[in-house]
């Protein structure tokens, strides 16, 4: 054990000091320009957080017995206290949703439903800056990303599904369609607002009411959304927002009056939910984990591909289910890609998530940080070579250096298990066939990317990869009109696009 730890520490030290040598034994000689940035911090003073957040049930703030603290993971400061929904509270929320469904929402015309959803989108636009700052403070993600991705994309989902609400007959011509009823929705901590939008917008458009549970570490933007829903004047109980932990989620899943469960989270919990809903009449969609292959062919535009690698794995600290966490590089260009990647990583700015210059923010929680550390340690133990950013990390909060491993074997844990952090595993291949085999050699099937100059190769390779979302010469691009979802242990069902309507409708031909 001691020898292992010694090896781990030596490997980490060498990589952080940048003293690793290239494969031919010569020192890395890429000349580094030092970019200096002045800090440009978003002042959070314009944000007003409550000291205490109650549950949002039946259009009212509902107090409960227990509250828990929610923090800013970049400095561990307490931001607010948040209600922990008990079994009774979950029951109250589901009852409110059921009543709202029967009394109001099922009787609201599709055109009126569209107006409400449209209004939600418009009010969110007005509060976009507040949403971005709260998302960053509660989640640890860079403000640059919450401003340019999380918030606008969430709003776009509401706009998009507002457009579908009165066109459902056109979406499924010749079929008789009806809403499912009460949707229980459970979301993770990596994209709280966006995941809420992915779930709430199609559910409302199709005429369902909602009980949504935020993840334990990131409840705040959902309570901000409650304000928007209130302002938009939705009938009470159409959207109910609760917070708590896994137990709260389980109570929602098991509630007999819930007609549909939409879950995004880990494969482990997805399997539990599948067992619990088996034999019931509940509809189910699961968006689970991933270990996506990002494949770089030797004819790819390498500089663009390196940017794609960076975006694929370091976007949102790698807390992305569809992250390009397994890099498959054609052997002939391996050394060139690694050299450019090292060079590029030296310019990654890691630190204060509220600084507009920051590229990589804080890890969402201590639990997640421990999980990342454990898997990285296993990579070193199993003989892969670690390379890390040389940046200085803040003293408080949860941080992990952007990292990649070379010399990764397919059997290594870091090549198979989802790390859900800023850690990339690099493997090589020689032929397109080998690339496809390696890409598909996973229990997951959520996303994949291919980088090549040849259009024919893009189609040939991507058509053989078993993944729900594929990108060519880009990565991590999202659009509300484009369906998202997985194969195999990445789950089933699609969110986004016309496909995203089907889980929320009974469709009879």
Give the pair of three-digit tokens for residue 219.
């409840």
Q: Compute the distance between CA of residue 161 and CA of residue 405 in angstroms, rounded to an integer.
A: 41
Burial degree of 146 (CB within 10 A; 0-12, 13-18, 19+) = buried
Pair type for strands 403-406 and 423-429: parallel
Pair type for strands 423-429 and 326-330: parallel
* Rounded least distance, CB 100 to ligand NAP, Å: 23
Instruction: Please identify which residue in 102, 166, 230, 245 interacts with ligand NAP, judged by CB under 6 A.
Output: 245
Q: Identify whether 287 is a catalytic site residue.
A: yes
Place of tokens 């986004």: 496
Residue 269 binding ligand NAP, by CB under 6 A: yes
Instruction: Please identify which residue in 215, 225, 313, 376 interacts with ligand NAP, judged by CB under 6 A.
Output: 215
| CB-nearer residue toward ligand NAP: 245 or 298 | 245
3-state SS, residue 230: helix
Binders of ligand NAP among 319-348, rule CB under 6 A?
321
Residue 190 binding ligand NAP, by CB under 6 A: yes
- Beta strands (DSSP E) in 21-123 are 52-53, 55-57, 60-62, 66-72, 77-84
Residue 422 binding ligand NAP, by CB under 6 A: no
Q: Compute the distance between CA of residue 355 and CA of residue 143 in angstroms, rounded to an integer.
A: 7
Residue 309 binding ligand NAP, by CB under 6 A: no
Binders of ligand NAP among 454-493, rule CB under 6 A?
491
Choices 13-21, 90-98, 262-270, 498-506; region in contact with ligand NAP by CB under 6 A? 262-270
Burial degree of 129 (CB within 10 A; 0-12, 13-18, 19+) = middle
Report whether 286 contacts 273 (CB < 8 A).
yes
| CB-nearer residue toward ligand NAP: 251 or 428 | 251
Instruction: Please identify which residue in 266, 416, 472, 474 interacts with ligand NAP, judged by CB under 6 A.
Output: 266
Polymer length in residues for the chain: 509
Annotated catalytic residue within 287, 417, 489, 495 = 287
- Chain residue at closest Cβ approach to ligand NAP: 249
Choices 65-73, 168-176, 243-251, 329-337; region in contact with ligand NAP by CB under 6 A? 243-251
Instruction: Please identify which residue in 188, 324, 397, 496 interacts with ligand NAP, judged by CB under 6 A.
Output: 188
Choices 63-71, 147-155, 283-291, 374-382; region in contact with ligand NAP by CB under 6 A? 283-291
Give the pair of three-digit tokens for residue 200.
């709430």
Instruction: Please identify which residue in 149, 196, 234, 253 interacts with ligand NAP, judged by CB under 6 A.
Output: 253
Report whether 180 contacts 208 (CB < 8 A).
yes
| CB-nearer residue toward ligand NAP: 14 or 272 | 272
Instruction: Please identify which residue in 216, 359, 417, 489 interacts with ligand NAP, judged by CB under 6 A.
Output: 216
Q: Compute the distance between CA of residue 54 and CA of residue 83 in angstroms, rounded to an integer.
A: 5
Instruction: Please identify which residue in 143, 186, 360, 423 interacts with ligand NAP, judged by CB under 6 A.
Output: 186
Residue 497 binding ligand NAP, by CB under 6 A: no
| CB-nearer residue toward ligand NAP: 321 or 385 | 321
Annotated catalytic residue within 20, 135, 216, 321 = 321
* Rounded least distance, CB 91 to ligand NAP, Å: 16
Report whether 368 contacts 397 (CB < 8 A).
no
Residue 265 binding ligand NAP, by CB under 6 A: yes
Instruction: Please identify which residue in 133, 250, 284, 414 interacts with ligand NAP, judged by CB under 6 A.
Output: 250
Choices 77-85, 123-131, 145-153, 188-196; region in contact with ligand NAP by CB under 6 A? 188-196
Give the pair of three-digit tokens for residue 185.
């929705």
The four Cα atoms 383, 372, 314, 137 give a dihedral, to 10 degrees, of: -160
Residue 193 binding ligand NAP, by CB under 6 A: no
Q: Compute the distance between CA of residue 477 and CA of residue 484 in angstroms, rounded to an integer.
A: 11
Cβ neighbours of residue 29 under 8 Å, at least 6 residues apart?
none
Name which of 169, 127, 123 is nearest 147 in CA terms. 127
DSSP assignments along 293-342, one per residue? EEEE-TTS-HHHHHHHHHHHHHGGGG--TT---EEEEEGGGHHHHHHHHH
| CB-nearer residue toward ligand NAP: 289 or 422 | 289
Choices 55-63, 282-290, 304-312, 447-455; region in contact with ligand NAP by CB under 6 A? 282-290
Name which of 443, 484, 496 is nearest 466 in CA terms. 443
Report whether 117 contacts 205 (CB < 8 A).
yes
Q: Taking CB under 6 A as the rule, which mask of x and - marks residues 97-136 in contact with ligand NAP?
A: ----------------------------------------
Residues noted as catalytic = 287, 321
Binding site for ligand NAP (CB under 6 A): 186-190, 213, 215-216, 245-246, 249-250, 253, 264-266, 269, 272-273, 287-290, 321, 418, 420, 446, 491
């Amino acid at each position: 054990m001691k020898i292992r730890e010694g090896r781990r520490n030596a490997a980490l030290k060498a990589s952080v000091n940048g003293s690793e040598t290239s494969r031919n034994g010569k020192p890395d000689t890429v000349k580094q320009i030092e970019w200096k940035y002045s800090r440009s911090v978003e002042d959070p003073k314009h944000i007003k957080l409550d000291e205490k957040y109650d549950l949002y049930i039946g259009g009212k703030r509902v107090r409960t017995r227990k509250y828990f603290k929610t923090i800013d993971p970049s400095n561990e400061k307490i931001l607010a206290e948040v209600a922990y929904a008990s079994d009774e509270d979950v029951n109250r929320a589901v009852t409110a949703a059921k009543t709202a469904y029967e009394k109001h929402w099922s009787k609201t015309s599709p055109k009126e439903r569209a107006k409400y959803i449209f209004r939600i989108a418009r009010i969110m636009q007005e509060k976009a800056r507040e949403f971005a700052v709260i998302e960053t403070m509660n989640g640890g993600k860079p403000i640059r990303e919450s401003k340019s991705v999380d918030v606008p994309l969430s709003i776009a989902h509401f706009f998009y599904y507002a457009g579908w609400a009165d066109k459902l007959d056109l979406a499924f011509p010749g079929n008789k369609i009806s809403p499912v009823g009460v949707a229980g929705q459970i979301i993770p901590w990596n994209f709280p607002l966006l995941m809420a939008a992915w779930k709430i917008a199609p559910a409302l458009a199709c005429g369902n009411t909602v009980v949504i549970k935020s993840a334990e570490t990131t409840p705040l933007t959902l309570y901000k959304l409650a304000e928007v829903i209130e302002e938009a004047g939705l009938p009470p109980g159409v959207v109910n927002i609760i917070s708590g932990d896994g137990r709260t989620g389980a109570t929602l899943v098991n509630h007999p009056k819930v007609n549909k469960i939409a879950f995004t989270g880990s494969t482990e919990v997805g399997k539990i939910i599948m067992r619990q809903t088996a034999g019931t009449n509940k509809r189910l969609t699961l968006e689970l984990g991933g270990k996506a292959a990002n494949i770089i062919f030797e004819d790819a535009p390498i500089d663009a591909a390196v940017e794609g690698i960076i975006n694929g794995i370091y976007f949102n600290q790698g807390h992305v289910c569809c992250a390009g966490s397994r890099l498959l590089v054609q052997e002939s260009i391996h050394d060139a890609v690694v050299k450019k990647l090292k060079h590029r990583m030296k310019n990654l700015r890691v630190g204060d998530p509220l600084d507009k210059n920051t590229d990589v923010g804080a890890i969402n929680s201590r639990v997640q940080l421990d999980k990342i550390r454990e898997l990285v340690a296993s990579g070193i133990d199993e003989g892969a070579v670690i390379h890390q950013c040389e940046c200085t990390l803040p003293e408080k909060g949860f941080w992990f250096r952007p990292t990649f491993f070379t010399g990764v074997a397919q059997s290594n844990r870091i090549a198979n298990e989802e790390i859900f952090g800023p850690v990339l595993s690099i493997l090589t291949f020689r032929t397109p066939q080998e690339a496809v085999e390696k890409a598909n050699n996973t229990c997951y099937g959520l996303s994949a990317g291919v980088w090549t100059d040849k259009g024919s190769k893009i189609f040939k390779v991507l058509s053989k990869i078993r993944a729900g979302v594929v990108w060519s010469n880009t990565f991590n691009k999202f659009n509300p009109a484009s369906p998202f979802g997985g194969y195999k242990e990445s789950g089933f069902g699609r969110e986004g696009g016309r496909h995203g309507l089907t889980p929320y409708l009974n469709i009879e031909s």
